[in-house]
């Protein structure tokens, strides 16, 4: 018989996590954006994710979060843009029966850029509103009770958008954030 803290995770379990995440863009640019030395600020936001365990040690996770980032250049502030990157990951969970359960994941994100209010020299900067990119993840769940656990997680997400000014291309902005999170989760 298992104690209240034992139990692990098993096929058909659903894990729901709520994390506080720090989004740290690893910015890259091309063309005119490189000349302008464009940068994107960090953001701290909540994140919600759902994992369905297909097998005892294999899960599929959907990550939901949105953030607003301020964009700057050597011309000064260019404004802000919101980013919504739902991400789907296939995960492998090590030690699925243990109290300490590390995992790794790989998958795909679809990034939607919205509410962009970017301007340079009084002209609006338009950004393409979506992109697809890969995502990698590593984390650990530490079981506290049979259904409650704490979580630490790190992800690398590749996202990019093309920018135009007055209809002319001014380059590609790669945000490619490193995302670090801490939170709690429940097993259902």
For the stretch 157-167, pLDDT in tens is: 999 999 998 88
The confidence band for 75, taking pLDDT boundaries of 50, 70 and 90, is confident
> Over the chain, what is the mean pLDDT?
93
Sheet holding 168-174, edge to edge: 28-29, 168-174, 160-165, 123-127, 119-120
- Three-state DSSP state, 32: helix
Print the SS3 string covering 112-170: EEECCCCEECCEEEEECCEEEEEEEEEEEEEECCCCEEEEEEEEEECCEEEEEECCEEE
pLDDT number for residue 35: 85
pLDDT tens sequence across 109-118: 999 998 778 8
- Distance between alpha carbon 144 and the CA centroid of its chain, in Å? 25
pLDDT-derived band at 1 (thresholds 50, 70, 90) equals very low
Residue 128: per-residue pLDDT: 85
The count of C-alpha atoms lying within 13 angstroms of the C-alpha of 105, restricted to the half-sphere facing its C-beta, is 30
3-state secondary structure of 178: strand
Work out the number of other CB atoms within 10 angstroms of the CB of residue 139: 22
User: What is the average per-residue pLDDT within 102-107?
Assistant: 99
Are the CB atoms for 179 and 154 separated by under 8 Å?
A: yes
Most confident of 27-41, 60-74, 110-124: 60-74
d(CA 28, CA 41): 13
Q: Does residue 182 have a pLDDT over 80?
A: yes
Residue 134 has pLDDT above 60, yes or no: yes
Contacts of 79 (CB under 8 A, 6+ apart): 70, 71, 116, 117, 118, 119, 125
Taking alpha carbons only, the member of 56, 50, 47 closest to residue 89 is: 50
How far is the C-alpha of 90 from the C-alpha of 137, rounded, in Å? 10
- Domains of the chain, each with CATH number or no CATH: 14-187 (2.40.160.20)
């Amino acid at each position: 018989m298992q104690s209240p803290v034992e139990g692990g995770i098993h096929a058909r379990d659903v894990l729901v996590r709520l994390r506080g995440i720090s989004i740290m863009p690893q910015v890259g640019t091309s063309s005119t954006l490189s000349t302008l030395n464009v940068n994107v600020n960090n953001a701290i936001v909540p994140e919600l994710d759902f994992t369905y365990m297909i097998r005892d040690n294999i899960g599929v996770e959907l990550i939901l979060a949105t953030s607003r980032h301020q964009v700057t250049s050597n011309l000064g502030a260019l404004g802000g843009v919101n980013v919504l990157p739902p991400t789907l990951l296939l995960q492998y969970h090590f030690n699925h029966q243990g109290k300490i359960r590390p995992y790794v994941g790989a998958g795909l994100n679809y990034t939607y850029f919205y509410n962009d209010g970017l301007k340079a020299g009084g002209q609006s900067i338009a950004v393409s509103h979506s992109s697809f990119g890969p995502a990698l993840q590593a984390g650990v769940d530490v079981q506290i009770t049979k259904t409650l656990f704490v979580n630490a997680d790190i992800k690398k997400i590749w996202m990019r958008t093309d920018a135009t000014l007055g209809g002319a291309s001014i380059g590609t902005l790669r945000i490619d954030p490193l995302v670090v999170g801490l939170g709690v989760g429940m097993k259902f």
